[in-house]
Amino acid sequence: MHTHLNPRGAALAAGAGVLAAVMLATGCDGTAATASAGARAPFSTVRFTVGGPGGDVQLSGMSRSAVRPAGSHTVTAGRAHRFTRPEGRLLVVLRHWPAARIERASRGRLPRMRPPEESAVETAFVVNTAGWVRADLDGAELQWLRGDTIRVDATNTAVGDVTHLTLSGPYGGRSGQPVRPPGTRACTRSDDDATAARRATLPDIEAGSTVPKALGRLSSLCLDIQYTSRPDSGRPGTVHQVLIPLAARPTAVAALPSPAADTPPAPGPGERALLDPSRPATVVVAR
């Protein structure tokens, strides 16, 4: 089948399709009264499921009425779309494949080469809570968040696999265990140079590290962070690897720890590297 959509038209079509699918997936209780009640009630739990048979983003949980779509955009070469986060609210950004690609993959009709209009899609949601919430990816605890952004990459999963991001409210009035958000308080950059390439010293991150430990060592790089999970890659819930975006090529990364056969060798811990802040660093969590 041939299409005559230009790339911008394809991006708009993909975004509209994702947002329509999200609204359908949340169910029929999205009335104004329900949304108002959800906004007043204490935040409890909401789960985002990505990669189901329909290719849409599904919402579930007691607090799903506190979530509203914040846009959907195609992204290329691993770059992140810069969504606007309302002050004092959480922003969830999910990177995934368009529904049409997932449908063809499930039927075994995925082409060897993707057409240009089938770039990955980033879909964002605003979560209406100003309190601390805990983020879990596929059952593994990531970090506590408040007035922050969390990104998840679900584009590396196998056909039929799904990714679950769960946000849950404080337990027993506990204020949580906040982790310094990477790219904010530990950074000295200005908004003007947020995406400009810059040099930094790569940290030492070991396989099997806890997520908070890895985030602490990444904070000085002033990069956006996204999470992804990988099966059979270590003790569940620990860090398997961190991929640092390099400015050498559109998809170049420095893997920490480095693979045994890294050809050509990429910069390692303690070495200076030219980073590409337009792409987030990826924390790969074992599951």
Condensed to tens digits (0 to 9), the pLDDT of residues 210-220 reads 999 999 999 98
Q: Pull the structure tokens for residue 37.
A: 């009640």
pLDDT at residue 213 in the model: 93
Q: Is residue 178 part of a domain?
A: no
pLDDT at residue 2 in the model: 43
pLDDT in tens, 62-84: 999 999 999 999 888 778 889 99
Do residues 21 and 162 both lie within one domain? yes
Looking at the predicted structure, is the pLDDT value of residue 281 above 80? yes
pLDDT tier at 13, thresholds 50, 70, 90: very low
Do residues 117 and 48 both lie within one domain? yes
Do residues 26 and 155 both lie within one domain? yes
Q: Is residue 179 part of a domain?
A: no
Do residues 148 and 240 both lie within one domain? no
Looking at the predicted structure, is the pLDDT value of residue 41 above 90? no
HSE-up (13 A, CA, CB side) for residue 134: 18
Q: Is residue 93 part of a domain?
A: yes
* Overall average pLDDT of the 106-122 stretch: 58
**Per the confidence metrics, is the pTM higher than 0.85?**
no
Length reported for the chain: 287
pLDDT tier at 8, thresholds 50, 70, 90: very low
Q: Is residue 130 part of a domain?
A: yes
The answer to whether the CB of 49 falls within 8 A of the CB of 58 is yes
How far is 264 from 76, CA to CA, in rounded Å? Answer: 24
Strands 253-256, 239-245: pairing is antiparallel
Looking at the predicted structure, is the pLDDT value of residue 3 above 60? no
* Overall average pLDDT of the 32-51 stretch: 70
Q: Is residue 11 part of a domain?
A: yes
pLDDT above 70 covers what percent of the chain?
A: 66
Q: Is residue 180 part of a domain?
A: no
Looking at the predicted structure, is the pLDDT value of residue 244 above 80? yes
Flag the least confident range among 130-139, 164-173, 235-244: 164-173
Looking at the predicted structure, is the pLDDT value of residue 227 above 90? yes
Looking at the predicted structure, is the pLDDT value of residue 91 above 70? yes
* Overall average pLDDT of the 34-56 stretch: 71
Identify the domain containing residue 276 by its residue range.
Answer: 191-286
How far is 153 from 287, CA to CA, in rounded Å? Answer: 15
Looking at the predicted structure, is the pLDDT value of residue 144 above 70? yes
How far is 142 from 122, CA to CA, in rounded Å? Answer: 20
**Residue matched to tokens 């007043």:** 40
| Mean per-residue pLDDT over the chain, rounded | 78
Last residue of a domain, one of 111, 136, 168: 168
Residue 258's CB: how many other CB atoms inside 10 A?
14
pLDDT in tens, 150-185: 999 998 866 668 899 999 986 555 555 555 554 444
Do residues 34 and 159 both lie within one domain? yes
Strands 120-127, 90-96: pairing is antiparallel
Q: Is residue 96 part of a domain?
A: yes
Q: If we measure between CA atoms, which residue out of 86, 44, 42, 85 comes closest to residue 61?
A: 44
Do residues 258 and 149 both lie within one domain? no
The tally of domains found in the chain comes to 2
Do residues 24 and 75 both lie within one domain? yes
Looking at the predicted structure, is the pLDDT value of residue 191 above 60? no
Do residues 119 and 245 both lie within one domain? no
